[in-house]
Structure 1
Amino acid sequence: MVDHRELFEGVTMVLARAGFDTAPGPSRLRIGHRPEGVVVDWSPDGLPPEGVRAAVLGAVAAVLRESGHRVAEADGGGLLVTVAEVVTVPAEPPTEAEAAPEHWWG
């Protein structure tokens, strides 16, 4: 099995900073390893109602994407997180014309 230790630690850190309970124990949010990357899902013990599960996983996906990770639906449910995308930041801020493109309203 491929070891995604750095990715696992990065995902755990990002979610903990966002306020998710990532500590082992009573938390029902589970972060685990897969050959393709890291999976985030619920513990099989006591699954919440589908609406709650969808809302929490949606928030997890948003937080991870904002931090540059690639997130997709995992086989069997949950989220599959793969390597972080490289985010390039321009050396200089855009000019006013580049920052606000012209819009045509019809």
Structure 2
Amino acid sequence: MVDHRELFEDVTEALARAGFDTGPGPSPLWIDRHPEGVVVGWTPGAEPGGPPSREALAALSGAAAVVLRECGYLVAGTEEGDLLVRCAEPVTVPESPEPEAVPEQWWG
């Protein structure tokens, strides 16, 4: 299994800067390593007032996904409804040869 320690720390920090409760202690948010990156999710029923609704969880996931995408990560949903976060591969654009000169055209 690949250790995504740096990604784990970066994702945790990005979510904390955005206002998500990532500190130790009771929080419905959890972040864990995954073979393909890092998984972010919410524990149902961890809220003091009862479990968050499906709509609330969807809103939290959507907000977290936006934050992480703005940081440059690839974010996808899992079958369980969590977020799988991966590092974006650097994009390299191959150098293209100089375009051929286009002959002048006379419209007359």
**TM-score normalised according to structure 1 size:** 0.75
For the pair shown, the structure with the greater C-alpha radius of gyration is 2
Unaligned regions of 5+ residues in structure 1, if any?
A: 88-106
State the Cα RMSD in Å: 1.8
Q: Is the 8 A contact 2:75 2:84 kept in 1?
A: yes
**TM-score normalised according to structure 2 size:** 0.74
State the aligned residue count: 88
Given residue 16 of structure 1, which amino acid in structure 2 is its aligned partner? A
SS of the residue 1:65 aligns to: helix
Higher helix residue share: 1
What is the rounded CA distance, in whole Å, between the counterparts of 2:78 and 2:38 in structure 1?
A: 10
SS of the residue 1:27 aligns to: coil
Q: Is the 8 A contact 2:45 2:52 kept in 1?
A: no
What's the CA shift string for 1:26-83, capped at 9, x where partnerless? 1110101110110000124444110100001000000000010100002322100001
What is the rounded CA distance, in whole Å, between the counterparts of 2:37 and 2:19 in structure 1?
A: 22
SS of the residue 1:82 aligns to: strand
Between the aligned residues of both structures, percent identity stands at: 61
Superposed, which structure 2 residues align to 1:56-95 within 5 Å? 56-84=60-88, 86=90
